[in-house]
Amino acid sequence: MKQAVILAAGEGQRLRPFTVNRPKVMLSIADKPILQYVVESLAQNGIRNIVLVVGYRKEQVFDYMGSGEQFGVEITYVTQEKQVGTAHALARAKEVIEKEFLVLPGDNLIGADTIAQFVAIKPEAVLVKRVDNPVRYGVVTIDRGKVAEVVEKPEQAISNIVSTGIYSFTKQIFDFIEPELGLPDVINNMIAQGHSIKARETDGTWLDVIYPWDILNLNDAILRQIQTNLGGTIETGVSLKGQVSVGKDTVIRPNSYIAGPVVIGNGCDIGPNVCILPATSIGNNVVVSPFTQIKNSVIGDDVNIGPCCTIQDSVIDKSCIIKGHFTACSGENEVRINHEHHLVSVGAMLGEGCSLGNSVVAQPGVIVGNYSQIQPLRLISGKLPDRSLVF
């Protein structure tokens, strides 16, 4: 197998506000977009000819992935103007693909080991995995190593084996694609017409992000694999424990305490006296002022965090300005996404470009829309739409 098609056109509507200005594949986990992990896994398995099907906010993908050179791959872009289904997305790539190819979702975290064996087997095949909550996915029934049927998001799952959305196809697939179909439907069509599709199981990394708080789970999973790598300037009196990665041109000022796994990007100004605790990712060009504590959180690029803040289990998107004494403590709370209610244990989730005055307190589970402005001394809770003004 030499070529792979990555489906990267989707929006990720349930991940708003984080997907208002970026496609789901560009969500940042441990300072890299999810898509980059998929591309790197392919490159590690010797697959360097990559077709990216882009659509929603495609410029974000262009700007980051470029021609692929930086990641050791050659990228060809094709556009799916309207996101009507995964099979339709794949059909956009028809003109630029070879006889045999892999198809992968760009918005799942896929480890290199997950696909290491799969890339060697002959098409057609689907990679499956056992999961705890199969009803979120396409449940696969298998008969003697072959797929018998795929049922998308069943009410009741008859097995805990689901499709990872990673397939191996030949050009024949295009004979079965009809607009508005998902790839699982296409698979069922093929089986109905007598095709045999192999099922291969993996126990490697395959994680999905569906809701905003899933970002924290993925971040935790990735950070477990990082290695210490200290760029920038670590001033005297800084304590570093565990695996900590610091980007170039970053300054960590005295008496700061950093317990890994922690990733800090380029050009940041951290401290003095800042405490960063495990499973935290900090983007590029971020300022963290003295006496602030951050734990198990994801902080985007260009964020400015004032003194004496407490930030736990939170996601703060790029360019937020947070003045002093912001409190975002973790706790269990019910969060509403569309019409679903979820009981989750999480801190605050702030969209990009928010500005928070001094001493704002966030209730656990609050979701703040992009570019919102919160006056000092306010308590924020629930779900605030984009450009909210809290006076």
- Interface with other proteins (CB under 8 A): 2-3, 21, 46, 48-49, 54, 57-59, 61-63, 65-67, 69, 72, 74-77, 95-98, 232-233, 248-251, 266-267, 269, 284-285, 287, 301-302, 304, 318-319, 321, 352-353
Nearer to other proteins, 149 or 302 (CB): 302
Q: How far is the CB of 151 from other proteins (least distance, A)?
A: 35
Smallest gap from residue 323 Cβ to other proteins (A): 11
Residue (of 320, 333, 310) closest to 371 by Cα position = 320
How near is the Cβ of 216 to other proteins at its closest, in Å? Answer: 22
Residue 97 CA to residue 95 CA, distance in Å, equals 6
* Amino acid at position 95, single letter: E
**Which of 299, 353, 371 has its CA nearest to residue 274?**
299
- Closest to other proteins by CB, 98 vs 175, is 98
Asked whether the beta carbons of 32 and 225 are under 8 A apart, the reply is: no
Q: Which helix (H) or strand (E) holds 289?
A: none
What number of other Cβ atoms are within 10 A of residue 288's Cβ? 29
Calculate the CA dihedral of residues 316, 206, 126, 51 and round it to 10 degrees. 50
Residue 101 vs 118, nearer CB to other proteins? 101
Nearest approach, Cβ of residue 131 and other proteins (Å): 33
Under a CB-based contact definition with an 8 Å cutoff, are residues 269 and 254 in contact?
no
Q: How far is the CB of 22 from other proteins (least distance, A)?
A: 9
- Output 54 or 384, the one with its CB closest to other proteins: 54
CB of 57 to other proteins, least distance (A): 8
Closer residue to other proteins (CB): 2 or 136: 2
Q: Which is nearer to other proteins, 225 or 233 (CB)?
A: 233
313 closest CA partner among 216, 201, 381: 216
Do residues 261 and 296 lie in contact, with contact meaning Cβ atoms separated by under 8 Å?
no
Q: Which is nearer to other proteins, 78 or 150 (CB)?
A: 78
C-beta of 245 vs 319, nearer to other proteins: 319
The alpha-helical segments, DSSP class H, found in the chain are 34-44, 58-65, 86-91, 112-116, 183-192, 214-223
Exposure of 236 by Cβ count < 10 A (0-12 exposed, 13-18 middle, 19+ buried)? exposed
Give the list of residues 6+ apart from residue 308 with CB closer than 8 angstroms, or none. 290, 291, 292, 324, 325
User: Min. distance of Cβ 373 from other proteins in angstroms?
Assistant: 10
The residue type at 106: G
Least gap, CB of 235 to other proteins (angstroms):
11
